[in-house]
């Protein structure tokens, strides 16, 4: 914790905005091995990791943002995934809830399993919701392997992809849906990748006047059932 706090103060005193802060500006020498193991686990292991002990108490929100951003610079390159080009998204139903588009980030209620837009997504739990809901993850590679094992005939349709809704975040005059079908699973150079969000797919299809066929609904049901059966729920707080 002391190293994270010291690095935050260093960036704060230098007046660096998050967008201009890199790993060299946020030194974490004693955490290097731990963060390298996290990156390896993300890329070659289970696909997710949980870090406990990141400080939260006694800091203002801008300071917490610097800690979060600085830590993440050691594990990848931060990119925006929303229309206002924000680099940090608040998942909250309070005054800081994101208001752009129709994505509903932070809205109360359960969230179905899905794949986000970045290669890796990080969450920094500053204050858990009063009802203490668990976070739930599942392996898209497990789902893929079960499709290969039980229904390989579905792979061409999944690789062909689906039109996605753009959740109201397109530029003025641009289409409300993706310009091309987005593959649900694809394989290149021996690496399988996944981009699957059933809610955005259903909304995208509705915008162009169609819906999933009965055969496609069967595929989506299978994906949901396998993901649910193999999910892992855990608390974000310590």
Q: Is the per-residue pLDDT at 124 higher than 70?
A: yes
- Compute the average pLDDT of residues 127-155: 92
Q: Is the per-residue pLDDT at 83 higher than 90?
A: no
Residue 201: CB atoms within 10 A of its CB come to 24
Q: How far apart are the C-alpha atoms of 167 and 83, rounded to whole Å?
A: 10
Q: Is the per-residue pLDDT at 238 higher than 60?
A: no
Cα dihedral sign, 193-197-203-206? positive
Q: Is the per-residue pLDDT at 217 higher than 60?
A: yes
pLDDT band per the 50, 70, 90 thresholds, residue 176? very high
Give the predicted TM-score (pTM) of the model: 0.85
- β-bridge pairing 191-194 and 185-188: antiparallel
- Compute the average pLDDT of residues 62-67: 94
Residue 48: CB atoms within 10 A of its CB come to 16
- Compute the average pLDDT of residues 25-54: 92
Higher pLDDT, 103 or 74: 74
Residue 228: CB atoms within 10 A of its CB come to 12
pLDDT band per the 50, 70, 90 thresholds, residue 145? very high
CB-based contact 195:182 (threshold 8 Å): yes
Q: What is the pLDDT of residue 106?
A: 59
Residue 70: CB atoms within 10 A of its CB come to 23
Q: What are phi and psi of 192, to 5 degrees?
A: -95, 135
Q: What is the pLDDT of residue 110?
A: 75
Candidate from 13-27, 84-98, 100-114 with smallest mean pLDDT: 100-114
Q: How far apart are the C-alpha atoms of 169 and 100, rounded to whole Å?
A: 7
């Amino acid at each position: 914790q002391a190293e994270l706090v010291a690095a935050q103060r260093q960036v704060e005193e230098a007046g660096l905005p998050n967008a201009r802060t890199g790993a060299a500006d946020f030194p974490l020498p004693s955490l290097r091995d731990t963060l390298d193991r996290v990156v390896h686990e993300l890329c070659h292991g289970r696909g997710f990791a949980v870090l406990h002990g990141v400080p939260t108490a006694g800091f203002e929100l801008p300071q917490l943002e610097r800690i979060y951003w600085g830590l993440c610079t050691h594990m990848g390159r931060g990119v925006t995934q929303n229309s206002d080009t924000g680099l940090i998204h608040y998942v909250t139903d309070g005054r800081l809830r994101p208001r752009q588009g129709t994505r509903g980030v932070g809205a109360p209620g359960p969230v179905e399993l899905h794949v986000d837009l970045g290669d890796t997504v990080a969450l920094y739990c500053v204050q858990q919701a009063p009802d203490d809901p668990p976070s739930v993850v599942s392996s898209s590679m497990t789902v893929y392997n079960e499709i290969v094992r039980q229904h390989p005939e579905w792979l061409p349709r999944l690789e062909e992809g689906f039109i996605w809704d753009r959740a109201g975040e397109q530029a003025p005059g641009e289409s409300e849906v993706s310009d091309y079908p987005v593959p649900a699973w694809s394989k290149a150079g021996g690496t399988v990748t996944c981009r699957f969000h059933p809610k955005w797919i259903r909304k995208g299809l509705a915008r162009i006047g169609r819906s999933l066929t009965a055969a496609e609904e069967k595929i989506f049901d299978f994906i949901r059932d396998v993901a649910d059966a193999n999910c892992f729920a855990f608390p974000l707080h310590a």
